[in-house]
Amino acid sequence: MKKRYLIVTLLIALLLIGYSQRGPILLKALPNALTTLMSANGIDDLGPGLHVGLCGAGGPMPSADRSGPCVAVIAGGKLFLVDTGTNGARNILRMGLDLGAVEGVFLTHFHSDHIDGLGETAMLRWIGGSHTDPMPVYGPKGVAEVVDAFNQAYNLDASYRTAHHGTTVASPTGSGMTAVTFDIPQNDVSLTIYDKDDLKVDMIRVDHAPIAPAVAYLFTYKGRTVLVSGDTVKSPNIEKFSQGIDLLVHEALSPQLLQMMSAGAKNANALSRAKIFHDVLDYHTSPVEAAEIARDAKVGHLLYYHVVPPLDIPGMDAIWLNGVDDVFSDYTLGQDGTLFTLPVNSAKIVRVQSKLAN
C-alpha cells in the first residue's frame, strides 16, 4: 500500500513538473510542428474524387458550431465555394484546406448572410496563393454590383498589402474579384456556366421570393454529382435536377421552432424580431420537405445546411429533425467542418473527419 502511494505521488509530481514546463517543451516542439503544418495539403489528402465540405452550416443567426452559409466543393485538386458567409474563409483554413487554391465562388443569391465573407475570402485567396488575377465570382444578374462594391471597400487594404509585402506576394493585378454574370435559366432547364477539367457546373432556378434572382448549383465530376440548393422553398426544380445524384446539400428551417421564437419575441414586446421570425417561414424549406425531395429524387445522401434556427440548446436538434426519419433516413445534420468525399470510379459516399468537425 505504501509503495503504491509513493508511485502515485511520483506520477503526480512528474505531471506537475511537466505542466509547469509546458511553455519550454512547446517551444522546442513548435519548429517541427509548424513546418509540418505549413507543408500539409488537405486538398491532396482527399484523393481523386468530388469532395464537399461545409465551411458554414448555419444561417444569419449566430451559432456555436454553424457559421454563415458556405460550401466548399473540391474536384481535380481545385477548390470552389458556393457562397461565402461569416467565418467561411477562416473555417476553410481550420479544415486544413488552402484558400490560395480557390478557383472561383458561385453565389446563389445576394442576401447578406451569403455574401458577407466575400471580401475576406478574396483577400486571403489573393495573398495565400500570390495570385496575379482576381478571383472569379459567378452568379446571376446582380453579381457585378456586389463584386464592384466589395472591390471598392477593399481597395485601400489591397494597396497596403502590396506596399508592405511587395508585388511578388501581393501583385496589384491579383487583388479583388471579377464578376461573371449569367441570365438564370427558366424552370425545367439548367444552364452550364462552367465546364473545364472534367468538372461541369450547372445553374438552376429556385424560388426564394421575394428575393430574385436565386439559384442552385449542380456539380458533376467524373460521374459523381452534388447539388447545392441555396435558399429556396420546396422546389420541383430541385427535385428534377436531383434525380439520382450522389449528394444533395439542402437548406432547411424548422417552422415549429421559428413559430415558438416569434411568439416569444411577441410576448417580450420585441415586435420587429417577432415579425422577422414569422416572415422567414414563407421562403425556406422545412427539414421534412427537404427529406421528401431526397426520397422522391432517390438521392444517395442528404446533407442539411443553412440550419435555422441555431440548435445550441441540447435537444433542439431532435425537435428540428422531428419527422425526418419517417421520410428519408440517409441524412446528416451538417455543422461547420462536415466533410464528404465521393471517390471516382465508385458509388461510395464517405463522411470523413475534418480538422474542424467534432
pLDDT for position 14: 47
Peptide bond between residue 309 and the one before it cis (omega within 30 degrees of 0): yes
Tell me the CA distances in angstroms from 95 to 58, 92, 129, 337, 355, one per residue in order. Answer: 16, 5, 17, 6, 5
Closest CA to 181 of 80, 84, 101, 107: 107
The fold adopted by the segment(s) 44-352 is Metallo-beta-lactamase; Chain A (3.60.15)
pLDDT for position 42: 82
DSSP H helices in the chain: 2-20, 22-39, 42-45, 88-94, 112-115, 118-129, 143-153, 155-165, 236-241, 255-267, 271-279, 287-297, 316-320
Closest CA to 72 of 49, 38, 95, 40: 95
Instruction: Return the amino acid letter for 355.
Output: K
Indicate the SS3 state at residue 92. Answer: helix
pLDDT for position 16: 55
pLDDT for position 349: 97
Calculate ∠ Cα 304-325-95, nearest 5°: 30
Rounded distance, CA 350 to CA 232, Å? 27
Closest CA to 162 of 175, 152, 178: 175
pLDDT for position 19: 62
pLDDT for position 186: 94
Q: Which residues of the chain have pLDDT under 50?
A: 14
Tell me the CA distances in angstroms from 122 to 101, 116, 129, 175, 297, one per residue in order. Answer: 11, 12, 11, 7, 35
Rounded distance, CA 300 to CA 258, Å? 29
